Amino acid sequence: MRIQAFVVMLFLCGYSLAEEKYTPPQSSALGGVSFDGTAVGQQFHSRFTECDMKNMCDGKKLKYGCSSDQNHNTTILKLKNDTIFYDAKMGLDADGSPYSKNTPGQTDQPETSLRYPLSGKPSINADRVPFIVIPLGGFDNELGVTIGDVAAVVYGQKRVFAVVADQGPKCKLGEGSIQLHELLGHTVCKARDSKGDCVKLRNVGIDKNVQYFIFPGTHKELMLGLTPQNIIEHINSIGETSWQKLTASAE
């Protein structure tokens, strides 16, 4: 009875328990993945739900909440090989791109948390590199995720490998770079200059049903000799190997 009362109380307060068994949309390109995992990060899932339902974060009212840009997170799981999985929306991040540096009045930042191990520590360019953003507030430490880890992002019939390159507000989940959106078939750049850099963005994200798989520990391999010239090759190579291990574990 106490457990039932606790669940009812969570529901009435705007929280939901993370699902231990995730059922992906039928249209997703997820062949070979088993979602028989362990529910983790319940405190983060509760934050995302609270923000969606109340525009609050840890009980504090937010000036810019989630009601118009809901997280749509239903679960956070640890799968085999310690892969961290969650579903969510995917907002748009232009951090580190020429657009972010040259467009006044927008909220994107000219730098990213992940930097190349080169002189001057240059940031990752959102217009050239597929990357995702994870929340602040202990999400990385609790789940064993590190900036620079490689991830697989699935939306519909497309699967793209990306890198964890930035951090955002602790009660918001699901954000991807310009290049990640484009590779997933969600066109966000409306115009490019002679250099190929985006100069006009359609700031519209993907509402929900984006699946994120982060492979903890892969940052160690990715960062070895990393440059803007080889980052895509590194991401894809590490991502494919990690994906094969994940799907093989389901056989």
Neighbour count for residue 128 (Cβ, 10 Å) = 19
Q: Are 99 and 201 in contact (CB under 8 A)?
A: yes
Enter the tokens of residue 148.
């620079």
Cα(40)–Cα(250) distance, integer angstroms: 20
DSSP track, 128-144: TS-EEEEESSSHHHHHT
Q: List the chain pLDDT tens, one digit each, 251 residues.
A: 444 444 434 444 444 444 467 888 877 778 789 999 999 999 999 999 999 999 999 999 998 889 999 999 999 999 989 999 999 999 999 999 999 988 876 767 899 999 999 999 999 999 999 999 999 999 999 999 999 999 999 999 999 999 999 999 999 999 999 999 999 999 999 999 999 999 999 989 999 999 999 999 999 999 999 999 999 999 999 999 999 999 985 55
String of b and e for 6-19 (b: at least 16 CB within 10 Å)? eeeeeeeeebbebe
Q: Is the pTM of this model over 0.85?
A: yes
Enter the tokens of residue 171.
């009660």
